[in-house]
Structure 1
């Protein structure tokens, strides 16, 4: 039976296409490029989609079309986590965070806000409406590790019926809680 588990693991590992889809929202092309490179450099764990505004992010998420909210069911991006700049023209990161949390369907998407300004009021304001974290720019390698803890990975396999496997370092650690997450079809030791 042990040999079968190993074979199943190899088969499922070879069919994994993407673990975490990150939507990076920043009006600065330089900052977007830095964040994208840092995420991709950290390993094959992240697939990065970048946009230059909150409005574009809303389109990618399927939350806005021609000024009207639409059903995110039409969204085929399946974003696992949003990393957004706070200060942007037209729609701020705070406004995007608020919109995402209000449209909490089909799944709750973790939102991490980043800013070059370390303002306690801004941080408190974002956390109060549901931001997972607030990162002061520039993004660093240790921040990438934190992002892994907030996202719920989507594991896609080429064959239907295979058990989903995730490595233990992807399982979000609670805030001091010893409780382990319950995952359908996955045993966590």
Structure 2
């Protein structure tokens, strides 16, 4: 098992690039590959094809082929015909899988409402096109699994399974962290 993990690690991070523009896909792919960050790039031209690669199409469970791909991060255009980047983001975030795949949205339009809307449902980042070297460096950090914190005084949210689950009466006390009630 350790040999497999080392092999996957040496391959780099697998980035699924989703963009309906062949020129934009090529530019992003070349930038990622030339960044020196050892990205393995998989490109598709639609949200529907991205769903297939991720094993999320038609509400099906992950297919063996999709789970073998182990996509580390999805980098998708916002405006695409059929399924938008926003719709793809929603589908990835709504799917219950053991490891949530970070999704980064790209757009050539700087619309604050669009950015807020994407971040509200779980977009890791919103990058304005054209993609730049500084953006590529952030992608690697997004794809790394978060390190669990065990330190006292951490300001991270508790996972839902760690909160009290004893009945639903309103008279029960809720755990508190740093003076803030946990819902």
Residue from 52, 57, 61 that aligns with 1:59: 52
Match of 1:72 in 2: 62
Distance 2:7 2:124 in 1: 31
Offset from partner CA, 1:28-65 (integer Å, 9 cap, x none): 0000000000000012520000000000000000011x
CA contact (8 A) 1:81 1:111 kept: yes
Unaligned runs of 5+ in 1: 1-11, 154-170, 173-177, 180-189
**1:49 and 2:39 equivalent?**
no
- What TM-score results when the alignment is normalised by the length of structure 1? 0.70
Take 1:43 and 1:145, find their aligned partners in 2: how far apart are those partners? Answer: 10
Cα distance change, pair 16–91 in 1 and its aligned pair in 2 (3 A): closer
Check if 1:89 corresponds to 2:89.
no
Aligned residue in 1 for 2:120 = 128
User: Is there any run of 5+ residues in structure 2 with no aligned partner, and where?
Assistant: 148-152, 155-183
Instruction: Using the TM superposition, give the Cα deviation of residue 16 of structure 1 relative to its aligned residue in structure 2, in angstroms.
Output: 4.8
Alpha carbon RMSD of aligned pairs, Å? Answer: 2.5
- Contact 2:16–2:42 (CA<8 Å) still a contact in 1? yes
> Is the aligned partner of 1:146 residue 2:135?
no
Aligned residues: 145
Distance 1:15 1:111, change over 3 A: closer
Q: Which has the larger radius of gyration?
A: 2
Q: Residue 162 of structure 2 corresponds to which residue in structure 1?
A: none
After superposition, the C-alpha distances for 1:152-179 in whole angstroms (9 at most, x for unaligned) are 27xxxxxxxxxxxxxxxxx78xxxxx96
In the alignment, which residue of structure 1 is the partner of 2:18?
A: 25
List, as ranges, runs of 4+ consecutive aligned residues in structure 1 with deviation greater than 2 Å. Answer: 12-17
The change in CA–CA distance for 1:45 and 1:77 in structure 2 (over 3 A counts) is same
Aligned equivalents of 1:13, 1:142: Cα separation in 2: 27
Instruction: State the distance in 2 between where 1:14 and 1:99 align.
Output: 29
1:160-175 alignment, distance < 5 Å: none
